[in-house]
Amino acid sequence: MNSNPNQSRHAKLHQHLDGYAAEAKGKTGVSRIIKAASYSRDGFIAAYYNEAAFRQVVWLNALLLIALIFLPFGLAVKMVLLFASFFSVVVELFNTGIEAAIDHTSTAKHPLAKVAKDVGSAAQFLALTLLFMLWIMAAVSVWW
């Protein structure tokens, strides 16, 4: 028997949350994969319609991917550029999620909210800087 009441309370809470999470997430196997894909689709749609920065990153990378098809880069360079494009979209999704969570908590100005939003923005700045630098290096390797 558990002699520590805090551990017992923690175990009950953990059990309750596990039950809730399992109920919210649904089944296992293929059904779970289909639900997860549906949640991902909803996330893409929400980000696209609610965040201008996400739309800009998506369109920028769509143009870069079209260019990638036609430009004479080697396979390894194309793979790196493709990774960098996806990376910038992923970072923007995280940034959008952080901003939404902060705004849900409160729209009042708060120093920690500013830090969180600024850090997300800085991460996206680095991802886009990486993308830009890799494209410059790829172009230089082919044309100079």
DSSP secondary structure of 94-105:
HHHHHHHHHHHH
Active-site residue 99, yes or no?
Answer: no
Span 35-51, average pLDDT: 95
φ and ψ of 108, to 5 deg = -70, 150
pTM given for the model: 0.78
**Rg from Cα positions in the chain:** 21
Residue 108 CA to residue 104 CA, distance in Å, equals 10
pLDDT of residue 4: 61
Alpha-carbon distance 11 to 70, whole Å? 58
Residue type, 18: D
Q: Which residues contact 27 (CB under 8 A, 6 or more apart)?
A: 35
For the chain, give the mean pLDDT.
Answer: 88
Give the confidence band of 5 by pLDDT, cuts at 50, 70, 90: low
Contacts of 113 by beta carbon, 8 Å cutoff, 6+ apart: 102, 105, 106
Q: Is the pLDDT of residue 129 over 60?
A: yes
Q: Is 96 exposed, middle or buried (0-12, 13-18, 19+ CB in 10 A)?
A: buried
pLDDT at 107: 86
